[in-house]
Structure 1
C-alpha cells in the first residue's frame, strides 16, 4: 500500500514538473521569437526606407531637370517679342504669389526647440503639440507683410495644411518634428519686431521655457510649394459685358 502511494506521489510530482518545464519552454521560445522578429522587421523597414529615399531623390532631380527645361522653353521665345515677355512676366508673378517659385531675400529665421527635459511636464510637452502657437506665428508674419514663409523648409501657402500626427506634425503632407524652424522673407526689422514685441508670441514661448532663437538674415532661402492643386469644383465666374 505504501509503495503504491509513493508511486502515485512520484507520478504527480513528475507531471507537475513536466508542466512547469513546458510552460517555461513556451515562455522562452515566445520571448526569443519576439526579440528576433522585430529586429528582422526593423532591418526590412530600414532597407525599404533607404530605397524610398533614394527613389525620392532621383525623382526630385528629374523634376528639377524638367523644370529647368520648361524655363528654357519659356524664355526661348522672349527675345524681341514684347507680348511674349509680358505674358512670361505675368506668369512668373502669379506663380510667385501661389508659391510655386523658389525665393530668396532678406528676412528672419525663427528656431524653436523644446524645453529642457527637466522642465517638461510630460512627453506631449513639445512645440509640435502646440499648433496654435505655430499658426499664431504665421499670422503675425503675414500681418507684418511677410512675402514668403516656410516651416521646416515646407512652403506655407493658402493650401498648406498643418496636422498633428502622433509625436510629430505633417506640413503639406510631409512629416516633421522638433525643432521647428520658420523662415520669412520681408523687411527684417519689421518682421523681428512683430515677433519679439513684449507680450508677443516669442515672449510667450520663452515664458513656457521653449528655447527660441530669432535672427535677421540677409539671404533667407524659401523653397517652392511642391504639391499640385487641382480645381475640381471651383471655376471662375464669367463677368457679363454690358
Structure 2
C-alpha cells in the first residue's frame, strides 16, 4: 500500500513537472509569436515611412526637373535674344581678325570719296571679306550689318547715316585662318583697284580687335522676319 502511494506521488510529481515544462514552452512560443507580430508590425511601419519618404523625394525631384525645364526655356529665350542682338549689331564684339586701311596714294590725289562710292569699292570689299571668313565688320567705327547704308552724301560717304572721311579703316573679326589666308594669297580685287585708282590698301592681321555696337537704332524693316528665322533655328 505504501509502495502504491509512493508510486502515485512519483507519477503526480512527474506529471506536474511535465505540465510545467509544456506550459513554459507554450508561454515561450506564445511570446515568440507575439514578438514576431510586433517585429512584422514595426517592419511594416518602417517600410511605410520609407515609401512616404521616397514619394516625397520623388515629388521634390519632379519639382526640380520642372524648375530646370523652365530655366532652360528661359535660357533658350535669352540666347535667342542675344543672337538677335548680334545680328542687329547691338553688342560689342572682340576677337582676332584683319584690318584694312584705304587711303589716297599721295596728298595730290585729294578726296577719294567720289570714285570710292561710284565704283562701290567699300561695298565690294565688305562682300569679299564676308566670303573670306569675316563675321563682324566696321568702317571708321561704323558697324556694318544687313541694314547698313553706304552712300555718297555730298563730298563724303555716309554709313548708318553718319558721315565718314578717308582714310577708311575697315576692321573685321571672324575665322582668323581664312582671313590670314586671304591676306597672304592676295586679293585680285584689291590689286585691281590699286592698279586703276590712286589709292593704296594696307592689310594687317590683329589678335585684339574691338568692334563697337551700333550707336543708333536700325531701321527694323525686316525685324519680324529675323525673329522668325532665329526661332526656326
TM tier relative to shorter chain: 0.5 to 0.7
- Name structure 2 gaps, 5 residues minimum: 1-67, 229-233
Structure with greater proportional helix content:
2
2:131 maps to which of 118, 122, 143: 143
CA distance 1:155–1:199, shift in 2 (3 Å): closer
Aligned to 2:203, which of 193, 214, 217? 214
Q: Which has the larger radius of gyration?
A: 2
2:134 aligned with 1:162: no
Structure 2 residue 79 is the aligned partner of structure 1 residue 93: no
What is the total number of aligned residue pairs between the two structures?
156
C-alpha separation between the residues in 2 aligned to 1:129 and 1:160? 20
Task: With the length of structure 1 as denominator, give the TM-score of the two structures.
Answer: 0.56
2:93 corresponds in structure 1 to 103
* Matching residue within 105, 108, 115 for 1:129: 115
User: RMSD value over aligned CA atoms?
Assistant: 2.9
Q: Could you tell me the TM-score, scaled by structure 2's length?
A: 0.58
Ranked by relative contact order (alpha carbons within 8 Å, sequence separation 6 or more), the top structure is: 2
Deviates more, 1:100-109 or 1:226-235: 226-235
Structure 1 portions without partners, runs of 5+ = 1-77
Query: Once the 2 structures are TM-superposed, how far is the Cα of residue 129 of structure 1 from its aligned partner?
Result: 3.4
* Counterparts in 2 of 1:196 and 1:166: CA distance versus 1, 3 Å: farther
The CA distance in 2 between the partners of 1:224 and 1:231, in whole Å, is 16
